[in-house]
Amino acid sequence: MKTKVHLQKTTKKKSETPSDEQPFIHSSSSKCNSLGIKWITPIMSRELAAAGALDGLRTRMLLLILIGPLYLISPIISQPESLDTLSQHKILPLDCQDLWDKGFRSDGEYLIYPRGPQHPLPVYCDMTTNGMPWTVFQKRFDGSIDFNQNWQDYVTGFGNADREYWLGLQNIQRLTMTGRYELMVELERFDEQKVYALYSNFSLSPHALNAEHDGYKLYFDGFIDGGAGDSLTAHMGQKFSTYDNDQANDFQNCAEYWGGGFWYYPNGCADAGLNARYITPNTLKTPQNGFSWVTWVEYPETLKASQMMMRRL
């Protein structure tokens, strides 16, 4: 039986808070209902603003408006407000870049809102690598979380953001659709050597009407640099596979063989086994079935730690 560990929302307070409140520990929808919040789509918000349809609404009502990739709550006044004026009100963070822009500088667990104010998402933000904000969507360092999860768990996410975790394909894909992102893969060996690999214009199924039906295909423009070498290009354009949803078209079930979900390719499965079974140096291994990156570690060696993270440009 597979162990299912799901993302958990944190309620702990950050020691570093630039503002006089905690805007990223968001309240439940019951508060919103008591205030009379109305929810509209981005298209509706623009049509309403353009037509002046906001005129005459009562000030005690609140309207949630999506402007570009950012969510905000703004009071409605008796005269229509421009989108520029509305954009000056409180903004909920879409990713770690927005938190950085608000003054947060510490690595750690935060809440972001890629699916809107009713869906706070715990995430780990790396605020120190290269002095830039990175939204971490995969983190492994001790094997405490089993990454051999089923399709639904890989879609929604599992683990805990302040430990080992996977953010979820639906959340990763949603983020990549809001702008241009670069992808960094950080790797560490058991001898504590560390390297990275950097890729440009990272996205998942960017042209699909339904990303899940498309398999959350992996795309990026290319390898930029990094001492890890390029083990990911072989996976470009591939669908994501899990043990219960094999989409690699290989002669074997790649996710079962490697012990974790990934963008496996036909005729060999993987050059990058970042979600594969976690193997310590003293664990008996068989070839090519563990946590690895072939351009930097070779059998029988496996990785100790990895982070896959994205930064909005």
Q: Check if the beta carbon of residue 231 is closer than 8 Å to that of residue 190.
A: no
Domains and CATH numbers, the chain: 29-92 (no CATH), 129-312 (3.90.215.10)
Q: Check if the beta carbon of residue 276 is closer than 8 Å to that of residue 264.
A: no
Written as tens digits, the pLDDT of the chain (313 aa) is 444 444 444 444 443 445 433 445 333 333 333 333 333 333 333 333 334 333 333 322 332 333 333 433 333 223 333 333 333 335 899 999 999 999 999 999 999 999 889 999 999 999 999 999 999 999 999 999 999 999 999 999 999 999 999 999 999 999 999 999 999 999 999 999 999 999 999 999 999 999 999 999 999 999 999 999 999 999 999 999 999 999 998 889 999 999 999 999 999 999 999 999 999 887 655 555 789 999 999 777 899 999 999 999 9
Secondary structure class of 46 (helix, strand, coil) = helix
Q: Which residue in 156, 165, 112 sits closest to 307, CA to CA? A: 165
CA triplet 312, 291, 243: central angle to 5 degrees? Answer: 90
Tens-place pLDDT, residues 131-162: 999 999 999 999 999 999 999 999 999 999 99
Name 91's Cβ contacts closer than 8 Å, sequence gap at least 6.
70, 71, 72, 98
The predicted structure's pLDDT at residue 265 = 97
The predicted structure's pLDDT at residue 39 = 33
The predicted structure's pLDDT at residue 289 = 74
Q: Are strands 62-67 and 38-39 parallel, antiparallel or unpaired?
A: parallel
Tens-place pLDDT, residues 26-54: 333 333 333 333 333 333 333 333 343 33
Amino acid present at 105: R
Q: Check if the beta carbon of residue 133 is closer than 8 Å to that of residue 105.
A: no
Q: Which helix (H) or strand (E) holds 65?
A: strand 62-67
The predicted structure's pLDDT at residue 278 = 94
The predicted structure's pLDDT at residue 269 = 94
Calculate the alpha carbon distances from 262 to 144, 154, 212, 218 in Å.
19, 9, 14, 10
Structure tokens at 125: 């933000």
Q: Which residue in 99, 161, 122 sits closest to 307, CA to CA? A: 161
Q: For residues 201 and 132, what is the distance between their CA atoms, to the nearest angstrom? A: 17
The predicted structure's pLDDT at residue 70 = 42
Gyration radius (Cα) of the chain, Å:
21
Q: For residues 303 and 223, what is the distance between their CA atoms, to the nearest angstrom? A: 20
Q: Check if the beta carbon of residue 233 is closer than 8 Å to that of residue 142.
A: no
The predicted structure's pLDDT at residue 79 = 33
